[in-house]
A and B are shown apart, each in its own frame.
Chain A
Amino acid sequence: MQPVATTFFFYFLSGLTLVSGVFVITRKNPVHSALALIFGLLAQAGLYLMLYAPFVAGVQIILYAGGIMVLFLFVIMLVNLERSRREEQFNNQWVIGLLAAVALGVLFVIVYVKGKALFPYRIAQPIENSNTQQIGVMLYGQYMFAFEIASLLLLVAIIGAVVMAKKRI
């Protein structure tokens, strides 16, 4: 299956992801931020498809966009204060925070400039048809222990969330 218009889709999808990221951190209304995050997650699923990872893209759509964001929207609706209390958006130490993020950005730029020779430009084309099978074999073979620990982690998270959100313990 030959890819079609890779360059356009890459710039479109990554632009959508970054723009939605900017909207997440700059909107006053948390519901708008959640909406922007949903679009960003769906665009990122498209990026995963371009990276020949269809199973991860499907998992991203089901779990992240269809599960976690529903959770976020529920909680936003539950803790929604009266609209008139629109406080300011940015907290008291926003200057230091911004400086720290800029320092991190400068660090990333240095890493990329110095290490550009280390990132190979090979555009490898793994076989796409058996991606799910191979991930399944790896999950149940090599990473079996991590799989079981992940299920235990989810059980702990469920119990913790239920206990914490109950009215009386």
Chain B
Amino acid sequence: MLDYITSYLSSNTTPGQAGNVFWAFVYIMIVFGGISVAVMAMNWLERKALAHFQIRLGPMRVGPHGLLQPIADAIKLMTKEDIIPAEADKFVFWIAPLIILCASFAVYIVVPFGPTHAITDLNIGILFMLGVSSLSVLGIVMAGWASNSHYPLIGALRSSAQMVSYEVAMGMAVVSAVLMTSLHGLGPYGVGVGTSGTGTLSMIGIVQAQQEQHVWFLFKFFPLGFIAFGIFAIAMVAETNRAPFDLPEAESELTAGFHTEYSGLRWSLFMLGEYAAMIAVSSIAVTLWLGGWYRPFPNALTGETWDLVFSLFPGLTFLGLAVIALVGVRRMPKHPYFRVQTIGLAGFGAVLAFIGLILFVPPVRDRIQDIFWFVAKVGGFMYLYIWYRATFPRYRFDQLMKVGWKVLLPIGIGVLILTAVLGVVL
């Protein structure tokens, strides 16, 4: 029994490939906990960043600088009354948020945080991710239908029509990225015969193909990779019903759309599913176009010193955050009412500094590299999501469908054909 557990530690694969159920379970728990914490942090970041975009401060009261606001929100949502509309179909009403949640979380089985840091590495990784993330459409349709009222029904129909349309454009962009994994040459335009060029659908294989071809697929066949990435970036925002494509859940238009009749904990399940889906599709974008877990310039700037320089980044990031927290402590008002908040913020800064110092220790430094770069890139995408929400006005529904079918899909097909032609010719 004990050597069943320890035999995995010496192997060099993901738990799914090693067939080790115990470690697969441990990894699933770690990912599940990590995503939940990330969703709470994302909630806080969204409110603060939106507020700063709009030249106001956001939540400042609940913890120091609103750091305990997500916890307060969670407690509020858990203690609200659970209202089910009259004559609503109870079973479907209950199961709709669960379907969205399960579909959003099941995607994380194949998300690669490192060369062996994934729960498993399916042979059909990207196909599985696209398929399972399209199951959340079913949950939305059922949520709208089960609420037995016309605002949610219209919101659900619009939302599912939008998601289905943008899935097609996403598929085209993903196929052109997968095409690039089967190319031979090195560098952006593929000169020479550098790699073996076996195409693959597995997520870890796609990232390793980018490393073998010495280029991020973002810059491959420039501008084709860039356009494909742009199509995917627009489609993924529409896929997760976020601004500027959030007509189905916009408050001024449809009174919160398909989750109007959901209150309390059920609504928080919808939000959890939505944020988890956002992080999931950002992970797809990072894996396919941005080089996954590799640090910047793994082939151009090689050698011991460059490895050392780039491996200092995780610790430096946390130390930088600690410095910001301590600056915030300095700027707190010196009134006795703020004493608790000042102490709390100083403690938070101390925790961040401590984590930063731990990340400088060499054994931890080597292991945390892949995970840090992956999470940093996905974090950049999360900031982009918030930035879009603060900046862009909302699309009207017919404009939204027009963009999905008449603009993104032809461009996607064009990029696919050109990528295939260039791949054969070069």
Contact = CB atoms under 8 A, between A and B. Distances in A.
Interface of A: 1-4, 29, 31-32, 35, 38, 54-55, 57-59, 61-62, 65-67, 69-70, 73-74, 77, 80, 83, 128-129, 131-133
B92 A70 contact: no
Given A31-B145, A70-B141, A62 B130 contact: yes
Contacts of B91: 32
Most buried by A among B89, B127, B160: B127
Interface string B146-188: 1000000100010010001000000000000000000000000
Given A54-B122, A66-B138, A132-B201, A35 B128 contact: no
Interface string B84-102: 0001010110010000000
A20 to B, nearest CB: 14
Contact of A70 (B146, B160, B198, B201): B160
B84 to A, nearest CB: 16
A58 B127 contact: yes
A58 to B, nearest CB: 4
The interface residues of chain A, by DSSP majority, are classed as: helix
B135 A65 contact: yes
Nearest to B133: A66
Contacts of A38: 138
Nearest to B18: A1
A62 B127 contact: yes
- The list of the 4 closest CB pairs from A to B, nearest first, reads A66-B134, A61-B131, A58-B127, A62-B131
Given A31-B145, A58-B128, A131 B138 contact: no
Given A31-B92, A58-B131, A70-B138, A1 B19 contact: yes
Contact of A31 (B19, B89, B137): B89
Nearest to A133: B199
Contact of B142 (A1, A35, A80, A128): A35
Contact of A73 (B138, B198, B199): B138
B35 interface: no
Contacts, number: 74
Interface of B: 17, 19, 21, 87, 89, 91-92, 95, 122-124, 127-128, 130-132, 134-135, 137-138, 141-142, 145-146, 153, 157, 160, 164, 198-199, 201
A50 to B, nearest CB: 14
Contacts of A57: 124
A138 to B, nearest CB: 15
Nearest to A80: B145
B131 A70 contact: no
Given A61-B132, A74-B157, A131 B123 contact: yes
A167 B132 CA distance: 34
A77 B154 CA distance: 11
Given A35-B95, A58-B131, A132-B201, A2 B19 contact: yes
Contacts of A1: 17, 19
Given A61-B135, A66-B135, A69-B138, 20 more contacts: A1-B19, A2-B19, A4-B19, A31-B142, A35-B92, A35-B142, A54-B124, A55-B127, A57-B124, A58-B128, A58-B131, A61-B128, A62-B127, A62-B131, A67-B164, A70-B138, A70-B164, A74-B157, A77-B145, A77-B157
